[in-house]
A and B are shown apart, each in its own frame.
Chain A
Amino acid sequence: MLSESVVWLTIFVLSVFVGIEVISKVSSTLHTPLMSGANAIHGIILLGAIIVTGTTDNTVAVTVGLVAIVLASVNMVGGFVVTDRMLQMFVRKRPAKPADSDQGSTKGGAA
Chain B
Amino acid sequence: MPVWIQLVFLACGVCFILALKGLSGPKTARNGNLLGAGAAVVACIVPFFWTDLHLHHVPLILAAILVGTVGGVYGARTVQMTQMPQMVALFNGVGGGAAALVALLELNSVIDAGGHDSWFNLAATAFTIVVGSVSFAGSLITFAKLQDLMTSRPVVFPGLPVIFGGALVGAVVLAVLLVNDPRMWVGIVLGLLGLLIGVLLVLPVGGADVPIVISMLNAFTGLTVAAGGYVLSNVLLLIAGTLVGASGTFLTLLMAGAMGRSVANILFGALKGGSTLGSGEASDRPVKSVTPEDAAIMLAYADRVIIVPGYGLAVAQAQHTLRELVDVLSARGIEVDYAIHPVAGRMPGHMNVLLAEAQVPYEQLREMDDINGDFKDTDVALVVGANDVVNPAARTTPSAPIYGMPILNADAARQVIFMKRSMRPGFAGIENELLFDQRTSLLFGDAKDSMSKLLNAVKAL
Contacts and interface: CB of A to CB of B under 8 A. Distances in A.
A61 to B, nearest CB: 5
B4 interface: no
Nearest to B77: A81
Interface in A30-49: 30-49
A102 B241 CA distance: 41
B139 to A, nearest CB: 10
Interface stretch (B27-35, B377-385, B415-423): B27-35
A45 B237 contact: yes
A92 B276 CA distance: 40
Contacts of A20: 246-247, 250
Contacts of B20: 19, 22-23, 34, 37-38, 41
A77 B218 contact: no
A111 B94 contact: no
Interface in A41-83: 41-58, 61-62, 64-83
A22 B94 contact: no
B357 interface: yes
B116 interface: no
A81 B72 contact: yes
Chain B facing A: main interface SS: helix
A24 B250 contact: yes
B72 A53 contact: no
Contacts of B2: none
Contacts of A15: 226, 238-239, 242-243, 246
A22 B23 CA distance: 9
Contacts of A1: none
Given A53-B57, A64-B104, A34 B95 contact: no
A44 B244 CA distance: 11
Contacts of B221: 39, 42
A8 B228 CA distance: 12
Nearest to B246: A19
B451 interface: no
Contact of A61 (B105, B237, B353, B363): B105
A87 B30 contact: yes
A61 B95 CA distance: 18
Nearest to B243: A19
Contact of B236 (A33, A44, A110): A44
A71 B95 contact: yes
A62 B109 CA distance: 12
B76 A78 contact: yes
Contacts of B142: none
B107 to A, nearest CB: 10
B17 A22 contact: yes
Given A48-B232, A77-B73, A110 B362 contact: yes
A30 B64 contact: no
Given A39-B221, A53-B61, 8 more contacts: A23-B251, A26-B251, A31-B349, A35-B248, A46-B65, A90-B26, A90-B29, A90-B30
7 contacts: A25-B24, A36-B84, A40-B33, A48-B237, A52-B109, A66-B61, A80-B37
Closest 9 CB pairs of A and B: A73-B68, A78-B72, A19-B246, A75-B95, A15-B242, A31-B349, A28-B342, A81-B76, A77-B72
